[in-house]
Amino acid sequence: MGHIINLVAHKVLFGSDVESFEHELSNVTAEVVELMTWRRKGPIGKLHNLIRYITHSAGRREAFDKLQEAGFESLINGEDDALTPRPKQLLRDNLTRWNSWYDAAERAIELRQYIDEFIDDELTEYYQKLVKHEARSKASTTQREPPKEHSLLGDKLTADDWDVIAVYMTYLKPCKQATMKLQGNVSAGNNTKGAIWQVLPVLSDLMKGFEDARQRHRPAESYTQDLAS
């Protein structure tokens, strides 16, 4: 059952040919190509790139922590320091473990405000250079090279992107819960694990959830076809 859940979750996240995607990534040598490969997966790929960028160096992690600390200070407003929350780090996903992506996305949604603030701060210098370039170009007849595009421009998440990620989480949460439930059925008074009477109700609930999701996200033309038939 755990293997089946793993296959289903991977297809939800990465499409029908997960092995092809893994093979494509394993043959990537240039960082920019790897970024583009993930970016083609939509919001979940962009989130992967963002998490990797923020956690890539100690300086970036420290800057991310400071944004959280500033947010905590504005909320606590001078209260006892012992009550102040501590910054949380983003979790990096592992392509071969779908639940690591779930955990990474769950933490990212929790820290969404600080991710957006971090990206805005990182892009500030680029935008300033762009403004200077445009001003110089207007004042001179000499053609100047624009500043190199920042890699974050292609991965900045819009409000719609965050909504899509939340939808992924909605449909993957039952998979996570089912995995944990089936793993936790062995106890002192119950030595059975993976028995058919344990698995079938979980499988039934998962199938019902995905069927409801399929109906909810059906293309509009399919409803027209159903009415015609």
What is the rounded average pLDDT for all residues in the chain?
83
For 41, phi then psi, to 5°, come to -85, 5
Alpha carbon distances (Å) from 217 to 24, 194, 209, 212? 29, 32, 12, 9
How confident is the model over 35-44, as pLDDT tens digits? 888 898 899 9
Domain boundaries, the chain: 2-55+90-168
Q: Is residue 209 within a helix (H) or strand (E), and if so which, with residue range?
A: helix 196-216
Q: Which residues contact 37 (CB under 8 A, 6 or more apart)?
A: 21, 24, 25, 28, 45
Predicted local confidence at residue 8, as pLDDT? 86
CA-closest candidate to residue 210, choices 12, 51, 21, 61 = 12
Q: Which residues pair with 187 in a beta bridge?
A: 190
Q: In angstroms, rounded to a whole number, what is the distance separating the alpha carbons of residues 181 and 100?
A: 17
Residue 30 pLDDT class (50, 70, 90 cuts): confident
Give the pLDDT confidence of 97-117 residue by residue, as tens digits.
Answer: 888 899 999 999 999 999 999
Which are the contacts of 36, defined by CB distance < 8 A and separation ≥ 6?
154
In DSSP terms, 94 is beta-bridged to 97
